[in-house]
Every structure is written in C-alpha cells, then in structure tokens.
C-alpha cells in the first residue's frame, strides 16, 4: 500500500543511519589510534632533542653569573628596565629558530640557568601544558617573574601573562637573549655555545721580584 515502508526501504534506511553514525563517531572528540601514535612520536622526538640540548648546551653554561634574589650578595642590586625588545629575537636567527620550534626546551634552559627550576622538571611541565594555553600562560608568568627577579629586571605579572598568552615564542626568545647576555654566552645552531665574556685586563701592578727595601740579600 502507498505510504507503508517495505522491508527493503527499512534496510536501506538502517544502512544510511549506520553510515551516518560511523562518520559521526569518526569525527568525535575521542582520540583515534593515529592521534595517539602522533602524540607518542612527537613526545619521543621532543624528549630526544631536550636530552641532546641539555648535554650540549645547558651543561656547558656558567652557573655563577645569575644570583638568586634574596641572597646576601643580591641585597644592593636594584631592578632595572628590560633592554631587550619583544621582537629582538628576530635579529638572532638561532634564538628565533629555537623559540619557534622548541620553545619549551629553550624556556627550560632559561629557568635552569636563572636558578628558577631545574631543567627536566621545567621541560616536562612546559611540554605537558603546551596544548593548554591559559594554564601554560599562568605557569610561565609565575616562573618568568622569578627569573626576572633573579636577573634584577623589572616585570609586570599582568603584562607578562598577556605576552605569554599572545606572543609566547617572542617572549621566550626575549628571555633567552637576556639570560645569554647575563651568562656572557652566545648559543647558535646547532647547539654551539660560545663565550663572549670580555677578559679582564692584566694588572698594572709590577710583579713581585722578591726585593724588599733595606734587605741585605
């Protein structure tokens, strides 16, 4: 009879509905095997480079250039304005490349050298928070505030938060330039550390010849 669905029509409708359900499930928020495999592979690559960067760069950096704020030797130091601009990292291709391609690792170098947080805990935290922009910005604001204080630089938590939220690679590169300047080093691709410290001039005091006025010998 007209209007009465037949068995064939019901089966076709069921197949169409099953196909729609399959497509909806494929585009659902649950991660697929390919997503999980991509995450594992990218994490392994990041861990490999971080280990290489630590052995070839971080372990060679001086440890006595930046003081922890509050130390006795730090009492007379006054906070100064930041001389490096937000986009100064573009003038240094190596720093720009590190900040854009492996920002968490570069930031971990800054925190480790600035005596804020050890390299590996910092690296794990920043890599884990990378997809969560707001949480990452909050954590980086706290850590970067301590870094600036240790280097004697002025900072604004509110401004730092928005920079970390909207201009993260540039801010990481800017901090790296400031840390490298404080450590008196240059870091170039690929993982080359060069000291730029100015050697102290030789003393003008004459060498001790062993002669004392009035001595008989």
Which ranges of 57-189 does DSSP label H, i.e. alpha helix?
Answer: 93-101, 103-113, 119-129, 133-150, 157-166, 168-183
Chain segment 183-196, per-residue pLDDT in tens: 999 999 899 999 88
Calpha distance 26→44 (Å, rounded): 26
Chain segment 106-131, per-residue pLDDT in tens: 999 999 999 999 999 999 999 999 88
Residue with tokens 């196909």: 19
Say which residue, 201 or 206, is predicted with more confidence: 201
Chain segment 73-119, per-residue pLDDT in tens: 455 567 888 999 999 999 999 999 999 999 999 999 999 999 999 99
Calpha distance 165→50 (Å, rounded): 23
**Model pTM?**
0.75
Calpha distance 27→37 (Å, rounded): 17
Phi and psi at 151, nearest 5°, equal -90, 0
Calpha distance 21→2 (Å, rounded): 29
- Does pLDDT of 28 surpass 70? no
Q: Across residues 191-210, what is the average pLDDT?
A: 69
């Amino acid at each position: 009879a007209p209007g009465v669905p037949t068995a064939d029509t019901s089966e076709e409708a069921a197949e169409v509905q099953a196909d729609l359900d399959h497509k909806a499930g494929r585009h659902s928020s649950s991660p697929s095997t390919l997503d999980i495999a991509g995450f594992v592979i990218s994490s392994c690559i990041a861990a490999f480079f971080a280990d290489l960067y630590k052995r070839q760069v971080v372990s060679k950096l001086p440890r006595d250039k930046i003081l922890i704020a509050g130390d006795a030797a730090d009492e007379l130091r006054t906070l100064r304005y930041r001389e490096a601009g937000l986009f100064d990292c573009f003038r240094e291709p190596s720093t720009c490349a590190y900040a854009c391609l492996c920002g968490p690792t570069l930031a971990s170098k800054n925190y480790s050298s600035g005596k804020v947080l050890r390299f590996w805990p910092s690296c794990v935290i920043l890599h884990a928070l990378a997809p969560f922009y707001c949480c990452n910005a909050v954590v980086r604001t706290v850590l970067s505030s301590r870094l600036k204080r240790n280097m004697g630089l002025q900072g604004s938590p509110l401004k730092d938060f928005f920079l970390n939220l909207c201009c993260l690679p540039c801010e990481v590169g800017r901090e790296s330039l400031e840390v490298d300047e404080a450590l008196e080093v240059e870091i170039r691709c690929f993982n080359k550390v060069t000291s730029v410290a100015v050697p102290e001039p030789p003393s003008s005091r004459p060498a001790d010849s062993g002669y004392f006025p009035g001595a008989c010998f």
